[in-house]
Amino acid sequence: MSAPVLSVIIPTLGVRPELLRAIASTQAQVAVPCVALVVVNGNRFDPRLIARLEADPSVRLIRTPVPGVAHARLLGVSHVETPYFSLLDDDDELLPDCLAPVMEVLEAGADVVATNGLIEIGGNLSVKHDNLMGYGEDHALALLYENWAASGGLYCRTAGVPVALFEGLPNYMELTQLGMRMTMHCRVSRIDCKTFIYHIGAAEQATASPAFVRAEPVVMAQIASEVTRRDIRAKLRRKRSAALHDCAELELGRQNIGRAWRDHVASMIGGGGHRYLSYTRHLVRETVSMWLRGLRPAAVPVATAGPASRGPDL
């Protein structure tokens, strides 16, 4: 086999058997020789699985005691020794021998190529992006409405994508923030060819978790703090308001009425916050109900109170 030209960075805790499927999908690439650059983060790994990877000459294994997918990707990128690299989650896979169209675009001068893929749910496959090519060459706008920064669908020229773009990313929505950075610092292309299968599972459970809900407005603020375009910042403010509204609903469901009020007030003073004005009646009703049940909530903050989810102002 020819020397690898593309490193497929696979962050993992080293416990999922699906990791072997992800690695096998990189080894199945014929037109574009790949190496699986597996980054095991944390100390929860399965020793038998790690021993198997260490014995595989086609796998490049890196281990770090620091947990977190963002740090693992940063470490992987900093160890790339091939002209190109890509990202892949350990429970997903590349489609067989699918990378020739990607390489054509990279070799024509693109720094980043974003592709389409398939979603697998219960054995049924569907296309991930219905409108991947929408919004023309406005990749930043497309990112907000058809998030093309997907693991398995990002292919990068090593010399054209600085390692610094991977620094300081959160562990939630990190690829969205990375994608926005790429639109500002790299030559991005989107091509509607399918390169990966995205298996619905733990990642989707994570996006429904309270930690993800609370992290979303913070990440929206972080992304906006790095953006110079006023129209994109305005759209991010609206998304942050929506995320804060989700936080308010989450906290109300937990009967954290004081925190729910803080998030609600913050959602209304952001972009497009008037959309959530009617939710005030619902909060008032629930607050009174809790008082009547003897569950004295924390005092309702004044309208100038800051949001519960802290981050740079948009």
Question: For the chain, what is the mean pLDDT?
Answer: 90
Query: CB of 86 within 8 A of CB of 8?
Result: yes
- Looking up tokens 């809900």 gives 213
For the segment 285-310, the average pLDDT, to the nearest whole number, is: 61
Closest CA to 247 of 270, 223, 222: 270
- 73 DSSP β-pair partners: none
Q: What's the pLDDT at 298?
A: 55
| Per-residue model confidence as pLDDT tens digits over 257-297 | 999 999 999 999 877 888 999 999 999 998 888 888 875 55
At residue 312, the pLDDT reads: 36
- Kindly state the tokens that stand for 192: 């509607």
Query: 234 pLDDT band (50/70/90 cuts)?
Result: very high
- Check pLDDT > 90 for residue 180: yes
Q: By C-alpha distance, which of 5, 14, 2 is closest to 47?
A: 14
* E strand or H helix at 65: none
Q: Single out the residue of 183, 187, 243, 174 nearest to residue 210, CA to CA.
A: 243
Among all chains, which residue has been given the structure tokens 């490049």?
60
Please spell the DSSP secondary structure of 158-189, one letter per residue. Answer: GGGS-GGGGTT--SSSHHHHHHHHHHHHS-EE
Summarised one tens digit per residue, pLDDT across range 72-112 is 999 999 999 999 999 999 999 999 999 999 999 999 999 99
How confident is the model over 115-157, as pLDDT tens digits?
999 999 888 999 999 999 999 999 999 999 999 999 999 999 9
Q: What is the pLDDT of residues 44-83, one digit of tens each?
A: 999 999 999 999 988 999 999 999 999 999 999 999 999 9
DSSP 98-141: --HHHHHHHHTT-SEEEEEEEEEETTEEEES-SSTTTTTT-HHH
**Predicted pLDDT of residue 270:** 76
> Would you kindly state where each structural domain of the chain is located, as residue ranges?
6-206, 209-292
Answer whether residue 310 shows pLDDT above 90. Answer: no
3-state secondary structure of 28: coil
CA distance 230 to 287: 38
Lowest mean pLDDT among 123-137, 173-187, 191-205: 191-205
Residue 31 pLDDT class (50, 70, 90 cuts) = very high
Which DSSP string corresponds to 268-309? HSSTTGGGGTTHHHHHHHHHHHHHHTT--PPPPPPTTPPPSS
Confidence band, pLDDT 50/70/90 cuts, at residue 314: very low
**Residue pointed to by tokens 């004044």:** 302
Fold type of domain 6-206: Spore Coat Polysaccharide Biosynthesis Protein SpsA; Chain A (3.90.550)
